[in-house]
Structure 1
Amino acid sequence: MFRKKQRSFDLQSVLSGCLKNRPSAQKMLYEQYFGFAKSISMRYASGSDEVMEMVNDGFMKIFTKISMYDPNQSFEAWFKTVMVRSCIDYYRKNHAKVAFVDVDELHFLAYDDQLLEKISAEEILELVQHLPPAYRTVFSLYVVEGYSHAEIAKLLEINEGTSRSNLAKARMKMKEMVKTYVSDLKNYDNV
């Protein structure tokens, strides 16, 4: 009965307010883009605490770098780029000791894309969060964001072969997790 009146969202005026460091504009931008930021961060985080840290770090970068946004370009694309890079920075800061596997250590790994068709996107995302940090980061950058191995290598300060091998290992681990998950679903359905 007493619903809070929805404020209309005018991106240009909100961005103008953010440029002037107005807390009300920053709050509106945060509320409007929180879900988008969270969906990006979930691909790189291992749990909800990390997701929230990545989201908050990302918004801090958005607010401090808002003057770098070119109004002639898509705000969502710029926002996504800043969030992805913020997630990578978080990864570097908090998972610096994570070992990447070089391509020389890689053995032939088979991958079955048909398994992924048996579960939902949300279930896949949940499984991605269970990958080790190095695998999860390379997997997300390559499969979800569309970065090349050369770009990933530069972003993560690793060589291309390492990026390729970590992607292959991530896919193999995903395959194992999906098989187990699908098998568990079938067993649950039969109970």
Structure 2
Amino acid sequence: MSTPKDAVCSEAASDPWGVWMARAQRGDKQAYHTLLQAVEPYLRAIARRMLGHEDVDDAVQEILLVVHGIRHTYQPGRPFKPWLSTIATRRCVDLLRRRQREGARMGEAVDAETFADAGPEPADVVARVQREVRIRRAVDGLSPGQRDAVHLLHLQELSPREAEHQGRQSAGALKVASHRALKALRRALQGEQDDAT
């Protein structure tokens, strides 16, 4: 008959990362440091597979920041690697989307420079930048819960159930916060537009 100590040894052998994370959640800084060092090569492999050799260091750092921010959501006793893999994959997808958006913006900027006179920036580029600044200001004015909901549901494009596991709110609370955030953003952006006219 196995003792509780045998069960702990068996669990540590089968999922050491999960054991280290559980210890880290209880405040063991050494276990957390060991975990972060152990998972880095795994995260590099995921980032390299999804992003190529470009942006691997940035991707690993961003994944580790996300893990640090949501480490409380890991449930001890559950397999750690799938939890980590999901976070890493989503972050890499976000980075790919950002890369595509930046590539599209660069293409637009090159097109604008190619076809524009040697004068000031085209009005549509200036208008786009001003709009982005207004949106950022409006998002910064939201409550923390509403900002989280916008970030998880709209920027990361997670479902409410997925967002619930990464955030600090239930799926229902996230939906309500998102709805209120969008209303507040509409009001704020409409108010700025009215002031500008």
Same fold (TM over 0.5): no
TM-score, structure 2 length as denominator? Answer: 0.42
Counting helix residues as a fraction of each chain, which structure ranks higher?
Answer: 2
Which protein has the larger Cα radius of gyration, Structure 1 or Structure 2?
A: 2
TM-score, structure 1 length as denominator? Answer: 0.43
